[in-house]
Each structure stands twice: as structure tokens, then as C-alpha cells.
Copies of this chain bind each other. A is one copy, B any other.
């Protein structure tokens, strides 16, 4: 059965959205739809233009026999500003204040629409880097890691603070949580990370950077490389931070429990970036 252009456009959009950053050959599409490669090429031009105009992403075309097309999730700067401002408003709600100046963020980390956007925005910001794996620490980092990994189309791995039997042999390190100065342990299953992997570290929250620095040290044990660090929220920290190269969507500048006031602004997401659509 031959597919009409309209049907191909719908199905190709679905396929590309489910396979970001994956090289798909024109032959593959041509066989799926029993259509000439020239027709497929025309379809891809329409999809690329629409993706770019609507802020969905872009299509990269690789010419030649081994070539094909790759969907790269990207965002428009104005969409990112809108989304990050919406997050800021959500976070600034004084109802989020918990004793000790902690913020209740469980609802945001369980909202699939917000997570999908967070993942897309963070993945877009590192879309020109080589990344094999996304890594985070349990528990609250997991939703962020999963959505970023989805948009990068690479696996994610979870470092644990408990050492459980169900993951086989593990490598553990001790680290100092930067703000509380407590000595803690983190461990990662040996099988979950290959040597020399390029790893994007993500987390929901960063203050002094101790936990992220712990993950960096753990990666050294696996001879892995840090390809970048991305967090949902960074919190202002007066002393020297243990991590200096990172991407953040949101910055907490002040949390005043007594006056029930939370000060939030966009993170460094817009600094030095020219890769918006």
C-alpha cells in the first residue's frame, strides 16, 4: 500500500519525535511508505520548516549513502523565556515554604507536562555535545534525568545513597554535602556504566554543588568523562561553589521563611547561547 503525503507527514512526525538525535536513513522511510526517496525528501523539507517555525526543533540532513536525517529537539528563545518565567512564578509561591527553608517541589517533579518541557529545554541546551548517558542521584533527580534522557535519546543511570543488593556489584565513594557539610556515601552499579562514557550529570537542585561534585568523583572511578551538568534549580550560595560549569533553568536568590518570601529568577540558561531556533 502506498502512503499519501498527508499520511506520511503524520507518521514521520510521530516517528521522529520518538527518535530524537537518531540518524534515520531515507531508505528506511522510503521502504516504510513505499514511496520514492524524492517524495520523502520533499516531506522532510516540510517537516523541517514546520518544526523550526513552531519551535519543535530542527532536522539535520546528512548527505551520502550512509546519510539520512536527524531530529534535534530545540526551543525558540521566546518559548524558553515564557516557560522559565512560568516556572519562576510557580516556584515563588510562599505555600511551598517548608521548615528550614526547604521548598516543596514534589508536584512539579510529578507533572508530566512540566517535566517534558524541562527535559526538552535542558536537552536543547546541550544538543551540540556528544553525550552517551545521563546520570543523576536518587530520588528527586530521577524524573529530570528520565525526561532529559528521553529528549537526548540516550540511557540514564541512577546513583543511589543507599546500597541495595538488587543492582549487583557497585562502586561507592564518600562525599561531603556542600551546604550541610555532612559526610555521605553514594554508589553506582558497576554494570550500569561503560568505560570512557561521556556523561551528562543532572539534578533537580544544586546549592554548594557537593552532590554533583560527588557524582563527578564517582565518574572518575569509571574512567568516564563529564559532558556537562544541568539542573532545574540552582540556589544562591555565598561561599565558593564546588561546580562552576553548569546550566540552570531557575535561580533561587533568596528564601526568607520568616517573611514567607521566595525570590526566584531565571537561571543561566540564556547565557552564551546562540543555538535557539
Contacts and interface: CB of A to CB of B under 8 A. Distances in A.
B106 A192 contact: yes
A143 interface: yes
Nearest to A120: B18
A7 interface: yes
Given A46-B6, A112-B154, A146-B146, A106 B167 contact: yes
Interface string A96-111: 0011101010110011
A165 interface: yes
Interface of A: 5-7, 9-11, 13-14, 17-19, 46-47, 49-51, 53-54, 56, 98-100, 102, 104, 106-107, 110-113, 115-116, 138-140, 142-143, 146-147, 149-150, 153-158, 160, 165-168, 189, 191-192
Contacts of A146: 112, 115, 142-143, 146-147
Given A138-B138, A146-B146, A166-B102, A107 B192 contact: yes
Contacts of A160: 139
A54 B7 CA distance: 10
A160 B109 CA distance: 14
A111 B113 CA distance: 20
A130 B156 CA distance: 31
Nearest to A160: B139
Given A7-B46, A139-B139, A100 B165 contact: yes
Contacts of A14: 13, 17, 51, 54, 56
